[in-house]
Structure 1
């Protein structure tokens, strides 16, 4: 038997905000690990992070209201559906992402992440009872799986996460640089809104209810998949005021470009673009890339009249060496893109 998509549905705008926060929570938590390649949207669950071969699935269900013990129990059903499914071996994390929890859940404790064992004894009983009752009502949960031992193992594995209230707190960690770029909270909220719009577009782009899968990798072909690189490119593009991968020949780079023979100039330009693309999406070197961007912006702001080659010579060698996918030419190409995008008035 395979895995059947069930309970895929459209959602309200308030819920979609929580789903975007859930997606960005997974992305921020993954950080430089690079385990998550992209996200299945309203497919296995609200959001499911996936590695490059769909062998590791990070499952997250979101809830956009205040949650007491009983409500938490009810919301665990879709996570449990995947926990006991034919794809069980692929799900490496079960996360319930909530706006807030009521006092009875944790008692006097103030936690933003917690487990079932951290709850008060009364809350555990209410959650478990509510969870079992909801499972009994769902036709896709076989009664054979309402075994105490299986349920206990599942509850022990679930991570409960309380969402941050501010949207910008989910974008700021993606911009791994000092604020030389002058990015404001308003800018961060605008980026969040664009990611949410992209996520909603994917969510409504195709019908998947009832779809039968033989393997998780089929999610890549479903039309319900958002790549990590698309989010990273969106963030960088908004910070630079342009898409760096569609920059063509920036004006500050024209003198370098024109110095090459015509046949080789295009080949050189393509090489610079490829190097930049690899650098942008080499997750373990993300901090190095943002350090490079920060140093370039600082140098340009210190003296907007300086040319690309002069700025290149000012960048610390340690910064240049940290971006291992780029060479001298692709560094200068990137400097040109940043210089053109900033549009700083010269003296």
Structure 2
């Protein structure tokens, strides 16, 4: 059994640092594509998971202005607790500000193992960690202590807020979106993360990691990516209430049932293209180009924008039919008009 301990109760503000660690899991690792769900303040500050919870990435984040060896040792305690628990975690990450470069063998690294820390600092780290684990100053070596330290990955926060959002999107030209939009999205994610902590799960027990879903303390990658695309376009692309004004020309000549069918088909096609792992990159690229084209000439008819679009990109995704792309262009025009 796994028992949830030291969870934060009614914490109405999730720190920027914890949100950065969440976004680090979802967009800044070599294996981020495997991570589909992140739990908040359950196993740890944040814990990433694949779809069926057969693989878990555990992250403890510590935003201390000063991190001497003793503080580092204290910060590793929750990760150690998980290492010896009944649940197997794939990776153990301590997400921290930049350490004093004198602590490191290779100060050029921002992601490194315990072996990159100098021997002098290791002694201080291990002394304090042993005290935390043992509950005394005996200095006894806890079970699997060295094994645990060999598994730790230190990740330093080396980016500004907007970079964490940019790495979640598949836009090639990151400058096409303003810094202000990236930062507002970050705040939305931080607030959503904070709201998940308002439930009480202290001392709750689970047998299998997937059972954590019943506590509703998780965020899906798909939810964040949906938020991103909606904010970039200026409206909720997948739940638009009505018909975009500029799309009426496409519906002209169709009867009521045909219009309903076409609108439903366009909405379903957009969702399929967006959530299809093989086609989502093309979806992001097409959206980026549409935003650029619409911003350049806001008065252009959607058919003109479409013509310019297909000159710039060969659309291969089967779901992105001509009518679906025209619908997407109409949504973008509506969203960008509403922002002005």
TM, length-normalised to structure 1: 0.87
1:210 and 2:203 correspond = yes
The counterpart of 1:233, out of the listed 226, 232, 241, is: 226
Structure-to-structure mapping, 1:1-347, within 5 angstroms: 2-10=1-9, 16-30=15-29, 34-65=33-64, 66-88=66-88, 91-106=89-104, 109-137=107-135, 146-147=142-143, 150-179=144-173, 182-204=176-198, 206-247=199-240, 248-316=242-310, 319-343=313-337
Name which of structure 1's ranges 228-237 and 318-327 shifts more when overlaid on structure 2. Answer: 318-327
Q: Distance in 2 between matches of 1:12 and 1:261?
A: 53
Point out where structure 2 has 5 or more consecutive residues left out of the alignment.
none
Q: Distance in 2 between matches of 1:98 and 1:261?
A: 60
Q: Distance in 2 between matches of 1:116 and 1:23?
A: 22
Deviation beyond 6 Å, 4+ runs, structure 1? 11-15
CA, structure 1 residues 320+278, in 2 after alignment: closer, same or farther (shift >3 Å)? farther
Q: Secondary structure at the match of 1:249?
A: coil
Would you say how many aligned residue pairs link Structure 1 and Structure 2? 335
Name which of structure 1's ranges 308-317 and 175-184 shifts more when overlaid on structure 2. Answer: 175-184
Q: Distance in 1 between matches of 2:245 and 2:215?
A: 40
Name which of structure 1's ranges 305-314 and 264-273 shifts more when overlaid on structure 2. Answer: 305-314
Query: Contact conserved, 1:57 with 1:93, CA < 8 A, in 2?
Result: yes
Q: Distance in 2 between matches of 1:293 and 1:244?
A: 11
Q: Secondary structure at the match of 2:90?
A: strand
Deviation at 1:77, TM superposition (A): 1.2
Deviation at 1:258, TM superposition (A): 3.8
Name which of structure 1's ranges 3-12 and 67-76 shifts more when overlaid on structure 2. Answer: 3-12
Q: Distance in 2 between matches of 1:185 and 1:13?
A: 26
TM, length-normalised to structure 2: 0.89
Query: Contact conserved, 2:25 with 2:32, CA < 8 A, in 1?
Result: no
Deviation at 1:42, TM superposition (A): 0.3
Q: Distance in 1 between matches of 2:91 and 2:150?
A: 12
Q: Secondary structure at the match of 2:59?
A: strand
Q: Distance in 2 between matches of 1:256 and 1:103?
A: 61
Point out where structure 1 has 5 or more consecutive residues left out of the alignment.
none
CA-to-partner distance for each residue in 1:47-98, whole Å, 9 max, x for gaps? 011111111111100001131222111111111111111112xx11110001
Deviation at 1:320, TM superposition (A): 4.9
Deviation at 1:212, TM superposition (A): 0.8
Q: Distance in 2 between matches of 1:129 and 1:286?
A: 48
CA, structure 1 residues 290+122, in 2 after alignment: closer, same or farther (shift >3 Å)? same
